[in-house]
Amino acid sequence: MDGAALTVNRTRAFALSAFVCTAIIALQTAFIFMPGDFLNFFNQTIRIMVYVTLVIVVYSVTGIDRRTVRKAYQSNLVAVISTLLYAAAFIILIWMFGGGNNAMAARSIHMAFRWFWEIGMIVILSEMIRYKLIKSAVKGERNTVALMLALVFALGYMGHGLWAQVRGSGLSVPEFVFNTALMPLVISCVASFFAMEGSFVSVISIPLVHLMVPRYMPVLPNVGLIAFSLVFCGVLVASAVIYNLIMNDASRAQKLRVKRLGKYENKVFTLFNAATVAVLGVIVAFFLNAFPIYPLVILTDSMSGTIDRGSLVFVQRVPEGRAEDMVGEGYIIHFLRGIEYVHRTVEFRHGADGRREYITQGDANERPDPFFVTQDDVLGIARSHLPFLGWPYIFFRALFQAF
């Protein structure tokens, strides 16, 4: 194709994108309100044929662009990294929370083929259209075309989930928003972002992995839909950030600024090192219990509802002989009785020596602890906590115990 023809085709890309978006919106609207007894025929025949027709129209109008993608290697590398991040997140979630039976999993050849035909083919055809239209758009319209296609193909990727929600799937509104709507939107936006400069392989791999894996894995992490979608949306955003760092070269102005700042490099480097050492020193001292407040990770569910497992608790140290003055009924205390506990004081009594002894109980337990906590057992008072921050410690602790 000569330069003049390529320019003419590029001027059509925006109008063609608008046409594709309109067609897919109309198709998806019909899909949502499709009668249940007609749904299989619609999914397996009509929907696929419409996407195939759109591919033929797009490639007929824009022609074949045989130019090489300048940064194909980098974009393919990031796609591989994204897949590895996805796998790592999947394994870590199963390790931490266990695996649950996946009711959607393809447990037969027939079901595996059906999922590929109804979902995988839609992904492949959609990404063929997306990649071609974004590459064919003129530079000033490329961002607009990418955004249009991201929104519309996200609607197409909602597919069965959106249909089920209209028919009454039983999902709560937050679960629907995060799992059925947010995940396809983030997947589609990242795919459009990759299509701006990347190769077709990198563009298609993102939605294929994120949309098909949950339908082929027999086991899924035993977490809620909202947590699942947030974790894997985070993986996608991380992939986009890595892609942006690798693909974007520093501009000339940035290079000039770096050159001007070069003479200050040694001073800045020295100051940065000093600040880093100071901060690390404070952090290490904190975790070595050198301060009146020390950190503690909750390892069990005995305080669930108040302090969940995996929370990082900040405990005020109780000096020796001060427990009676500092600890009262209702306080959550850290104490040692063979092993360490973080439980609430529900009552106290005076022992044979006249000193106060505490009756403790976990907020999630039905009965008090089967022992009395003496003054000497009390180590500290829980003052505040942050959820989830202790999970890395729990993970590595389990890992070290396993090996």
The predicted structure's pLDDT at residue 4: 43
Ramachandran assignment for 63, one of left (phi > 0), alpha (psi -120 to 50 degrees), beta (any other): left
- By three-state DSSP, how is residue 373 classified? strand
Burial class of residue 323 in the structure, from the number of CB atoms within 10 Å of its CB (0-12 exposed, 13-18 middle, 19+ buried): buried
The Cα 282–Cα 305 span in angstroms is 32
pLDDT values of the chain reduced to their tens digit, one per residue, 403 residues: 444 444 444 556 778 888 888 888 888 888 777 776 777 787 788 888 989 999 998 888 887 766 666 677 778 888 888 888 888 888 888 887 777 777 777 767 778 888 888 888 888 998 999 888 888 888 778 888 888 888 888 888 886 666 566 556 566 777 777 777 888 888 888 888 888 878 888 888 888 888 888 888 888 888 777 888 888 888 888 888 888 887 765 445 555 555 555 555 566 566 767 777 777 776 666 666 667 888 899 999 999 999 999 999 999 999 888 888 899 899 999 999 989 999 999 998 888 888 889 999 999 999 999 999 999 999 999 999 988 888 888 887 877 776 5
> Other CB atoms closer than 10 Å to residue 169's CB: what's the count?
14
- Find tokens 């990418």 and name the residue: 146
Phi, psi of 109 (to 5 degrees): -60, -40
The predicted structure's pLDDT at residue 251: 46
Phi, psi of 356 (to 5 degrees): -70, 135
- By three-state DSSP, how is residue 192 classified? helix
The predicted structure's pLDDT at residue 249: 54
Q: Are 374 and 355 in contact (CB under 8 A)?
A: yes
The predicted structure's pLDDT at residue 77: 83
Strand partners, 358: 348, 373
Taking the whole predicted model, whether its pTM rises above 0.85 is answered as: no
The Cα 262–Cα 224 span in angstroms is 50
The predicted structure's pLDDT at residue 167: 58
Q: Which residues contact 183 (CB under 8 A, 6 or more apart)?
A: 210, 229, 232, 233
- By three-state DSSP, how is residue 372 classified? strand
The Cα 92–Cα 153 span in angstroms is 30
Angle, CA of 371, 308 and 390, to the nearest 5°: 105
> Other CB atoms closer than 10 Å to residue 175's CB: what's the count?
17
Strands 219-221 and 339-350 come out as: unpaired
